[in-house]
Amino acid sequence: MTQDNLSAVLYGIDDLRLEQRPIPVPKDDEVLIKMEAIGICGSDVHYLKKGRICDFIVDKPMILGHESSGMVVGVGKNVKHLKEGDRVAIEPGVPCGQCNFCKGGRYNLCPEIFFCATPPDDGNLSRYYCHSASYCYKLPDNMSYEEGALMEPLSVGVHACRRGNVGVGSVVLVLGAGPIGLVTLLSAKAFGASKVLITDILDERLQVAKSLGADHTLKIEKHMTEQDIIKKITELLGEDPTVSLDCSGAEVSVRVALQVTKTGGVAVLVGMGKSEITIPLSGALFREIDIRGCFRYHNTYPTAIELVSSGKINVKPLVTHKFKIEDTQKAFDTAVSGEGNPIKIVIYPNRSNV
Ligand SMILES: [Zn+2]
Ligand SMILES: [Zn+2]
């Protein structure tokens, strides 16, 4: 095998370097993966530009990347369900398996979880990478590596809809039409929502949302007051949403969600913004709005793969830009500048032309 393991390493703010790392050897319960497709996430960009997210601080070099797929090229001796040549989607979080959260199934809350490209854990924007085989999921033949990589953001949408109890007949409001808003829209439709309204400040994103199946879109204009936005949402839906999912993290969106959600409904806060904001709380409490947090996901990969493989969800339109790993800097520059309206930028570590 080649000894080339070019990797995208973040050294600090605006200091991204491509460098060689040794090709790792899989432990007994791991597989070695030849990486094929990796999506750039908002969090990768955030670490590049700010060096931290909340208490997660990049204080030593860290390989970026966590939305990924590849081909198994090495298998640890305890691994039974995968073999060389299998194509897999990689779930980036590997929990401890021992704590109460893990035993209860909500392993996203495990305090000991390893998570790709969350300091201090390395990500997998490399040509080769080893991962726990239990968190690698075989891709059906009808799914591409790009789709495999997109199982990560789609998992966020699936988990958000589960947190919101979205089901047949739900009337859903999604605030923010970035990548996470869009996968939440796709999930809500697949879960049986009768109507989904999605908001954003950018026309281009709302057009994509329309093409992905949004029943209604609302462009948030600068001059609109909170009350204008609330009135417009109820007008467009013909009723108040039973579930609101904030995928923007913006204070005004959270405030709108708490006020517009139907009495007795659910507001899920998916987006991460400022750590402290002002919200109209008592009105929401009097109306028994369930306000729910949402952090990553658990037990979503099999569902996400099934939704795409069966044709219920099409994630392909989300991929707007493609780069080889040598052009990683260019890929991140595009993510930062927003040039060409990128939704999902995908990097191919083992392709010479894309
Ligand atoms: Zn991500
Ligand atoms: Zn645990």
Q: Measured in angstroms, how far is the CA atom of residue 61 from the centroid of ligand 2?
A: 25
Task: Determine the average pLDDT of the residues in 279-297.
Answer: 97
Model confidence pLDDT, tens digit, residues 138-147 = 999 999 999 9
Identify which ligand lies nearest to the alpha carbon of 101.
Answer: 2
Task: Calculate the average pLDDT of the chain.
Answer: 97
**Helix (H), strand (E) at residue 224:** none
Model confidence pLDDT, tens digit, residues 342-351 = 999 999 999 9
Q: Are 180 and 134 within one domain?
A: no
Q: Measured in angstroms, how far is the CA atom of residue 83 from the centroid of ligand 2?
A: 27
Give the CATH number, domain containing residue 324. 3.90.180.10
Q: Measured in angstroms, how far is the CA atom of residue 43 from the centroid of ligand 1?
A: 6
Q: Are 15 and 106 within one domain?
A: yes
pLDDT of the residue at 2: 67
Domain-embedded: residue 306: no
Domain-embedded: residue 13: yes
Q: Measured in angstroms, how far is the CA atom of residue 66 from the centroid of ligand 1?
A: 6
Q: Measured in angstroms, how far is the CA atom of residue 105 from the centroid of ligand 2?
A: 9
Domain-embedded: residue 193: yes
Task: Determine the average pLDDT of the residues in 224-243.
Answer: 98
pLDDT of the residue at 183: 98
Q: Measured in angstroms, how far is the CA atom of residue 139 from the centroid of ligand 1?
A: 19
Domain-embedded: residue 77: yes
Beta strands in the chain (DSSP E): 6-12, 15-20, 30-39, 52-53, 56-57, 62-63, 67-75, 87-90, 93-94, 114-115, 128-132, 136-138, 171-175, 195-200, 216-219, 243-246, 266-269, 290-293, 319-324, 344-348
Q: Measured in angstroms, how far is the CA atom of residue 296 from the centroid of ligand 1?
A: 9
Model confidence pLDDT, tens digit, residues 23-48 = 999 999 999 999 999 999 999 999 99
Q: How confident is the model at residue 1 (pLDDT cuts 50, 70, 90)?
A: low
Q: Are 275 and 335 within one domain?
A: no
Model confidence pLDDT, tens digit, residues 176-197 = 999 999 999 999 999 999 999 9
Q: Measured in angstroms, how far is the CA atom of residue 40 from the centroid of ligand 1?
A: 7
Q: Are 110 and 40 within one domain?
A: yes
Q: Are 137 and 52 within one domain?
A: yes
Model confidence pLDDT, tens digit, residues 43-101 = 999 999 999 998 899 999 999 999 999 999 999 999 999 999 999 999 999 999 999 99
Identify which ligand lies nearest to the alpha carbon of 96.
Answer: 2
pLDDT of the residue at 54: 86
Q: Measured in angstroms, how far is the CA atom of residue 79 from the centroid of ligand 1?
A: 27
Domain-embedded: residue 304: no
Closest CA to 173 of 225, 236, 227, 222: 236
Q: How confident is the model at residue 239 (pLDDT cuts 50, 70, 90)?
A: very high
Q: How far apart are CA 253 and CA 174, in angstroms?
A: 10
| Alpha carbon 235 to its chain's center | 30
Q: Are 127 and 232 within one domain?
A: no
The count of domains in the chain is 2
Collect all residues with Cβ–Cβ distance below 8 Å to 275 and sequence separation of at least 6.
Answer: 54
Q: Are 288 and 321 within one domain?
A: no
Model confidence pLDDT, tens digit, residues 199-213 = 999 999 999 999 999
Give the CATH number, domain containing residue 281. 3.40.50.720
Q: Are 128 and 169 within one domain?
A: no
Q: Are 143 and 183 within one domain?
A: no
Examine the pLDDT at 246 and tell me if it is beyond 90: yes
Q: Measured in angstroms, how far is the CA atom of residue 135 from the centroid of ligand 2?
A: 14
DSSP state of 318: G
| Secondary structure of residue 153 in the 3-state scheme | helix
Q: Measured in angstroms, how far is the CA atom of residue 114 from the centroid of ligand 2?
A: 10
Q: Are 173 and 146 within one domain?
A: no
Identify which ligand lies nearest to the alpha carbon of 39.
Answer: 1
Q: Measured in angstroms, how far is the CA atom of residue 118 from the centroid of ligand 2?
A: 16
Examine the pLDDT at 268 and tell me if it is beyond 60: yes
**Which domain covers residue 258, as residue numbers?**
164-293
Examine the pLDDT at 241 and tell me if it is beyond 70: yes
Q: How far apart are CA 99 and CA 247, in angstroms?
A: 29
Q: Are 89 and 28 within one domain?
A: yes
Q: How confident is the model at residue 3 (pLDDT cuts 50, 70, 90)?
A: confident
Q: Measured in angstroms, how far is the CA atom of residue 222 from the centroid of ligand 2?
A: 44
Q: Are 118 and 209 within one domain?
A: no
Domain-embedded: residue 276: yes
Domain-embedded: residue 309: no
Domain-embedded: residue 217: yes
